[in-house]
Amino acid sequence: MSGHNKWSTIKHKKAREDAKRGKIFTRIIREVTVAARLGGGDPDANPRLRAAIQLAKGANMPSDNIERGIKKGTGELEGVAYEEVMYEGYGPSGVAILVEAVTDNKTRTVADIRHIFTKYGGSMAEPNAVAWQFSRVGNVLVNAESFDEDELMLVALEAGAEDVRKEEDAYVIQTSSDELFQVHQSLEAAGVHCLEANLSFNAQNPLDVPEDKTASVLRLLEALDDYDDVQQLHTNASLQD
């Protein structure tokens, strides 16, 4: 989705609002805990944890919180046992939606997600019903005020990135999923301060949504994004301003 896509713009705005409310801390600490549980508590040997820690620091999360999240993931401290889950569904106009969530109660979460889809004119889908329409990619975010786009493009391509695009006040440097952390490290070594590095899903064929359906699609996306267990949300809906 381009920087002119309405949902992309809303996501950036919501991220800022979530940060003000402290909600972003909840999502980040869950990512830290899951990353540590899956790959161990050493960030030097666990690229996903390293990225989660950088994201936490970028959000000004206290070091003690990060350390507790790691220890809960490795089992050194007692805590909630989180699991990663992926849900798929359709929204108004048949738009495809992928919902990445982290939960301590899959029964509750799937029921709540299904309710949100139904309430806002969508429906849950079977596994792999819509996932095939998306490709796994890596994204590195850089403050748009820090670099000229052409200059950053040259540095990013040299580091092994595939593309650079502007979304709101950030540049999104796209990589293959396998090269994300190598590109991230190369950019940092080249003096590029990165705000965030994450794995995401890009729609292979964005779907233009009729203007009269835009509002209903946005209501569903915002309701899903507001649900506490949701970590990331992806759609093939192209919603223009």
- Which CATH number does the domain housing residue 40 bear? 1.10.10.200
Q: For the chain, how many structural domains are there in total?
A: 3
At 18 the pLDDT is 62
Going along 144-229, which residue ranges are E strands?
163-167, 170-176, 196-203, 207-208
Task: Identify the CA nearest to 228 among candidates 38, 21, 60, 55.
Answer: 21
Domain, as residue range, for 156: 134-202
Q: Would you say residue 1 lies in a domain?
A: no
CATH at 139: 3.30.70.980
Residues 127 and 171 occupy one common structural domain: no
pLDDT tens-digit series, residues 147-205: 888 999 999 999 999 999 888 788 999 999 889 888 998 998 999 988 888 888 999 99
Q: Of 74, 91, 117, which marks where a domain is finished?
A: 74
Q: Would you say residue 224 lies in a domain?
A: yes
Q: How distant, in Å, are the alpha carbons of 40, 68, 104, 174 from that of 141?
A: 25, 26, 29, 9
pTM score of the predicted model: 0.83
pLDDT tens-digit series, residues 34-58: 999 999 999 988 888 988 898 888 7
At 132 the pLDDT is 95
* Neighbouring residues of 78: CB distance < 8 A, sequence distance ≥ 6: 72
By three-state DSSP, how is residue 102 classified?
A: strand
Radius of gyration (Cα) for the chain, nearest Å?
A: 18
Q: Residue 56 corresponds to which tokens in the numbers above? A: 């936490």
Residues 140 and 195 occupy one common structural domain: yes
pLDDT tens-digit series, residues 102-148: 999 999 999 999 999 999 999 999 999 999 999 999 999 898 888 88
